[in-house]
Amino acid sequence: MFEALSDKLEAIFRKLKGKGILKEEDVDTALKEIRIAFLEADVNFKVVKSFIDRVRQKAIGKEILESLSPAQQVIKIVYDELREILGGSSSRILLSPNPPTVLMMVGLHGCGKTTTAVKLARILKKEGRRPLLVAADLQRPAAIEQLLTLGKAIDVKVFYSYEIKDPRELCKQALRIAKIEMMDPVIVDTAGRMHVDDELMEELRSMKEILQPKDVLFVADAMTGQDAVNIAKSFNEKVGIDGVILTKMDGDARGGAALSIKEVTGKPIKLIGTGERIDALEEFHPDRIAKRILAMGDVLSFIEQAQKAFDQKEAEKLKEKIEKENFTFDDLKEQIRKMRKMGPLENILSMLPGANKLLKEIKIDEREFVKVEAIINSMTPEERKNPKIINASRRLRIANGSGTNITDVNRTIKQFNEMKKIMKKMKQGKSFKLPKIFPF
């Protein structure tokens, strides 16, 4: 999402670093360029003005300009202020010590409330809770069916009714059931509504009075930019919200909503949706996002994603196979699947420091992963264990079976053999050159 802004800031800081000594006018020139970059990223103009004023006030001090590395000091100030406008520190979903905790999802039509409610239920279930999803969107056709289907996919109970026509009555019944069955938390999926529709906003206020939610979460599509910020402000004024969940943060947008919403509404971003997959919902970390924007990488998020996908015991078994030189095509297929579980490769690589430049130089095609898996699936168990037996006729059969061609099969086998050679050199402590990676 922040790629364009990140590129511009990187270029600005490169020029600053090129000057051994910084003068006040150098800082002012850089800040003018940063201001333009922020406005082009659709950041609220009041937020930009306040941000630039604070950075300038701190950056033109004598101790900064006369320090050993003034450019790095200025970048540190920009990072600190960027982290602050993003929220300063992480803000978690609040869970009541006296269950059931009620979480109420509000927002416009089509912002992703239903899928986000299910993603949130999945996270809380993994933490050992018994969430109850409430289908309180009684306006949108098939809203109940959508929630039932998604709830079934994650094995979470959904409270719904085709007879009750008033969402307020539905909420009363849902709370009663949650208390009887000791379900916690209760996640209420409300109908989308325009902030200018006074009647529907009044209905939302009534539902809030009945539910007494611990958190009212405004769900916004990050792709809508400043519209999302203004609507969040309106919802906060008319209903009262406790936090924001930004969806479609993996989209090709400028990032203005994420950079403006906390300053404008006073409410923190608590979670971000990073894709369509059911596990693509993450806690929002202002410090990590600030580092990504400034091309410093986000190694902590990378590690967390890897820990979710890779089991420690399985990693030990893999290490043992590598040491004994027993790594097979089956093992390769399993590692590819785990890597894909971490999310789109481009998103994962973007968490690493300096990745912006790397991602420009290489073209990532995730379909290559699918192709390699298809080729491995077309091999016999014996061929996966011992690729040396794969002769010309076997390669033709594998290509036909996988819907690929001989060239694809040859390349896959060649890359696998190169990997095996590297593993052997790693074991012996020798230096090696990395081979061409599959999806590039």
DSSP string for residues in 128-151: T-B-EEEEE--SSTTHHHHHHHHH
Residues of the chain with CATH 1.10.260.30: 303-428
**Are 259 and 236 contacting, i.e. CB atoms less than 8 angstroms apart?**
no
Residue from 118, 202, 136, 149 nearest 175 by CA: 136
**pLDDT value, residue 50:** 93
CB 376 within 8 Å of CB 333: yes
Q: Hey, which residues does 272 pair with through a beta bridge?
A: 246, 282
Strand order in the sheet with 243-247: 157-159, 132-136, 186-190, 102-106, 215-221, 243-247, 269-273, 281-283
Q: Which two tokens stand for residue 239?
A: 């209903």
- Three-class DSSP category at 213: coil
pLDDT in tens, the chain (440 residues): 677 888 888 888 888 888 777 788 888 999 999 999 999 888 889 999 999 999 999 888 777 777 767 888 888 889 899 999 988 888 888 788 888 999 999 998 888 899 999 999 999 999 899 999 999 998 887 889 999 999 999 999 999 999 999 999 999 999 999 999 999 999 999 988 887 778 888 999 999 999 999 999 999 888 887 888 888 899 999 999 999 999 988 776 667 888 888 888 899 999 999 888 888 898 888 888 888 888 765 445 555 555 555 556 666 676 676 666 777 888 888 877 776 666 655 555 555 555 555 445 445 566 777 888 899 999 999 999 888 899 999 999 999 999 999 999 998 888 888 877 777 765 555 544 544 444 43
Pairing of strands 269-273, 281-283: antiparallel
pLDDT at 435: 46
CB 138 within 8 A of CB 165: yes
Between the alpha carbon of residue 225 and those of residues 172, 248, 372, 384, the distances in Å are 35, 11, 38, 49
Q: CATH assignment of 303-428, given 3.40.50.720, 1.10.260.30, 1.10.1740.10, 2.60.120.10? A: 1.10.260.30
pLDDT in the model for residue 427: 59
Look at phi and psi of residue 166 and say left if phi exceeds 0, alpha if psi is from -120 to 50, else beta: beta
CATH of segment(s) 102-296? 3.40.50.300
Comparing CA positions, the residue from 438, 390, 383, 380 lying closest to residue 412 is 438
In the chain, which segments carry CATH 1.20.120.140?
3-85
> What's the CATH fold of domain 3-85?
Four Helix Bundle (Hemerythrin (Met), subunit A) (1.20.120)
Helix (H) or strand (E) holding 367: helix 367-377
Instruction: Kindly state the tokens that stand for 135.
Output: 């289908």
Its pTM surpasses 0.75 = no
Dist CA 106 CA 136 (whole Å)? 11
pLDDT tens per residue, range 48-104: 999 999 999 988 877 777 776 788 888 888 989 999 998 888 888 878 888 899 999
State the sign of the Cα–Cα–Cα–Cα dihedral 429, 431, 435, 439.
positive
The answer to whether the bond into 100 is cis (omega within 30° of 0) is: yes
Provide the residue type at 15 as one letter.
K
Rounded CA gap, 10 and 355, in Å?
Answer: 12
pLDDT of 157-186, one tens digit each? 999 999 999 999 999 999 999 999 999 999
